[in-house]
Amino acid sequence: MSMGITATVKPVVKAFFDPATNTISYVVKDPATMACAVVDSVMDIDYAAGRISHENADQIVDYIQENGLELQWVIETHVHADHLSAAPYLQSKLGGKIGIGSGITVVQDVFGKVFNEGTEFQRDGSQFDQLFEDGDSYMVGEMQAQVVHTPGHTPACMVHVMGDAAFVGDTLFMPDGGSARADFPGGDAGELYDSIQKVLSLPDETRLFMCHDYGPNGRDIQWETTVADEKAHNIHVGGGKTKEEFVQFRTKRDAELDMPKLIIPSLQVNMRAGEMPPADEEGNTFLKVPVNAL
Q: What is the pLDDT of residues 9-51, one digit of tens each?
A: 999 999 999 999 999 999 999 999 999 999 999 999 999 999 9
Each domain of the chain, given as residue ranges in start order, spans 12-270
pLDDT band, very low/low/confident/very high, at 294 (cuts 50, 70, 90): low
E runs forming strands in 19-174 = 23-29, 35-39, 44-46, 51-53, 70-75, 97-101, 130-132, 137-140, 143-149, 158-162, 165-167
Reported as a single tens digit per residue, the pLDDT across 200-224 is 999 999 999 999 999 999 999 999 9
Give tens-digit pLDDT for 83-114.
999 999 999 999 999 999 999 999 999 998 88
Q: What are phi and psi of 29, to 5 degrees?
A: -100, 130
pLDDT value at position 2? 45
What pTM value is reported for the model?
Answer: 0.94
Query: Residue 18: beta bridge partners?
Result: 23
Among 258, 95, 100, 233, residue whose Cα is nearest residue 173: 233
Q: Which residues contact 279 (CB under 8 A, 6 or more apart)?
A: 285
- The CA angle 5-10-15, to the nearest 5 degrees, is 115
Does the pLDDT at position 4 exceed 90?
Answer: no
Distance CA 91, CA 97 (A): 7
CB 79 within 8 A of CB 73: no
The reported pLDDT for the residue numbered 115 is: 87
Closest CA to 53 of 84, 91, 15: 84
Q: Express each pLDDT in 111-144 by its tens digit.
A: 988 888 888 889 999 999 999 999 999 999 999 9
**Domain 12-270, second-level architecture:** 4-Layer Sandwich (3.60)
Q: What is the pLDDT of residue 138?
A: 98
**Does the structure show a pLDDT above 60 at 229?**
yes
